Amino acid sequence: MKPFLKKGLILSSICFLLLYSLQSLCQYKDEAPKKNVLANQECLKCHGGHFYYYYNDWVEKDVRERMNPHFVIDSTKFYKSNHKTFACIDCHSYEYEDFPHSGSLRMEPIYSCLDCHGGDENSAEFNFEQIEENFINSIHSSKHGDNFTCWMCHDPHTYEISARTKESIIDVVEYSNNICLNCHNNIEEFQILTDSENPNILDAHDWLPNQSIHFRSVRCIECHTEINDSILVAHKILPKDQAVQNCVECHSTNSLLMASLYKFRRKENRNAAGFINAAILKEAYVIGANRNIYLNWASIAIFGFVILGICTHAILRIIKK
C-alpha cells in the first residue's frame, strides 16, 4: 500500500473515531433531559392546558375540570427557559406523582435561587450571593419581607436569560420591562402583596419627555436600581423618591446606560471610528451620549476660529478708529 494511502486511511479512521465519540458524548448529555421530558409529560398532561381529565371512582365516569390558571405551565416557554433540563420533581415533592394530590403539598416550601446556585462553582461568575444581598436590601424585600421572593419577578417555569444572550437591545428591554409590568400594570398581581391602589405608570412618569420612546428603549431598572459593577443586572430596587430623574445621567459621555443596559456590550471597541460610546451607537443614537472624537475637535477648532475672527475684527476696527 502506498504511503499516502496508508496515511489517508489512518487519518480517516481517526476522524471516524472522533465523530463517533462526539456523537456518543452528545447522546450521553441529552439522555437526562430526554428522560426528564418524558417524566414531565405526566405532569403536563394536566398542567399543560386549561382543562384536565380524570376518572372519578365515586361516580364511575371520566370528569373534565378547569385548571387553576396560576397552575398552567406553558411547555413551549418552559423548554426555552433556564430550567428546561429539569424534571418537575427536581423542585417539587415526588408525592405529586400521585393523583389526586394531597392538600398538604400546597404548604411545601419553595426553593430560593441560592438553594441551587449558592456556592456553586459553575455559576460563581454570576455572583448569586451578591444578587441575593442586593435583593434583600431592595425596596421590594424591605417593604414586603419574606412574602416577596425571587419568583415574583423570575417565574422558574418561563424565565430565560436575556441580557447576555439576546442580540437586540430592544428585545432585552421589552423582556425586562414586561417583568416589572406584570405587577405594576396588573392590579390582580399587584394586590397579592398589598391592598394599595396600583399607580398609573403613565401618570407616575408624566415628567419624562417622549415617554413611549423611553419605555421602548431603556429598562425600568436603569432608573430604579442602584448600579453594581459586580453583577450584570442590578437587583437593588430603590424607593421611588431615589429614582433617577436627571436627564444628564444618561445623556452624557459617561452615560449611566454604559454601566447598566450596555454593560455586557461595552467591551466592544470602535475608537477607530472615533465614537466614544461604541456599544450605544450600535443600537441607537442617544443625544449627548454618542460623541465622535473627530467631530468634537472639529467643533472646538471652528469655535476657536470664530472667536479669533471676532477678536481680529474688533481689534482692526479699534486701530482704524
Give the mean pLDDT of 165-191: 85
Q: How do strand 61-66 and strand 51-56 relate by DSSP bridges? A: antiparallel
- pLDDT, residue 67, reads 93
Looking at residue 85, the DSSP 8-state letter turns out to be T
Residue 7 has pLDDT above 60, yes or no: no
Q: What is the pLDDT of residue 26?
A: 46
Question: Are 209 and 217 spatial neighbours (Cβ–Cβ below 8 Å)?
Answer: no
pLDDT at position 147 is 85
Whether residue 24 is predicted with pLDDT greater than 50 in this model: the reply is no
Residue 22: pLDDT band by 50, 70, 90 thresholds?
A: very low
Per DSSP, the residues of 20-78 read: HHHHHHHHHHHHHHHHHHHHHHHHHHHHTSSEEEEEETTTTEEEEEEPPGGG---HHHH
Which pLDDT score, from 0 to 100, does residue 307 have? 93
Residue 265 reports pLDDT greater than 80? no
Residue 299 confidence (pLDDT) above 50? yes
Indicate the helix (H) or strand (E) that contains 302: helix 293-320
Task: Show the CA angle centred on residue 114, arms to residues 109 and 115, nearest 5°.
Answer: 45
Percent of the chain residues past pLDDT 90, beyond the cut: 22
Task: Note the pTM of the prediction, 2 decimals.
Answer: 0.68
- Using one digit for the tens of pLDDT, what is the confidence trace for 48-81? 999 999 888 898 899 999 999 889 999 999 998 9
Domain ranges of the chain: 15-88+113-291, 292-321
Q: What is the b/e burial string over 212-244, where b = at least 16 CB atoms within 10 angstroms of the residue's CB?
A: eeebebbbbbbbbbeebeebbbbbbbbeeeeee
